[in-house]
Amino acid sequence: MIAAGGAVGAAGRYTVAYWGQKLSPGMFPLGTLLVNLVGCFLIGFFYVVLTQHALIREEYRVGLLVGFLGAFTTFSTFGYETFTLLNDGQKGLAVANVLVSNVAGLALVWLGYRLAERLYGG
């Protein structure tokens, strides 16, 4: 179920990002922003519905939340986990998660880019 959900999620990500970017032909990554925002809404909504209100088998729940949304956008998982920390009163950990994920993530993109340039020319 995770693999099936992942296949649909990956296709959905491409489709939403493609059409979203067509709405903003400039440099701003509107397609990716739309994917991330839609994914955040969906994980919040479906987590409550599928864990508190719907009688659904575990493998289908995991297929949707992990497979589909995991392939659609991992940003939704980041958003949900940060929200959960805040909701549980762990404000320091929530802030740390946001800061480390963003600062370290951007730094590692830079590092990987520079390393590839050095190794393969650029």
pLDDT tens column, 35-58: 999 999 999 899 888 888 888 899
Average pLDDT, the chain: 91
Query: Percentage of residues in the chain with pLDDT exceeding 70?
Result: 99
Pick from 6-10, 22-26, 88-92: least confident:
22-26
Question: 8, 34, 9: which is closest to 19 by C-alpha?
Answer: 34
Determine the pLDDT at residue 77: 86
Determine the pLDDT at residue 28: 84
C-alpha 75/C-alpha 33 separation (Å) is 10
pTM: 0.77
Contact 2, 66 (CB under 8 A): yes
pLDDT tens digits, one per residue of 80-114: 999 999 999 999 999 999 999 999 989 999 999 99
Of the pLDDT bands very low, low, confident and very high (cuts 50, 70, 90), residue 121 is confident
C-alpha 108/C-alpha 110 separation (Å) is 5
Of the pLDDT bands very low, low, confident and very high (cuts 50, 70, 90), residue 122 is low
* 40 Cα distance to chain centroid: 7
- For 2, 27, 73, 83, 106, the CA distances from 69, given in Å and listed in that order, are 10, 26, 6, 16, 22
Tell me the average pLDDT across 25-43.
89
Question: 59, 61, 72: which is closest to 11 by C-alpha?
Answer: 72
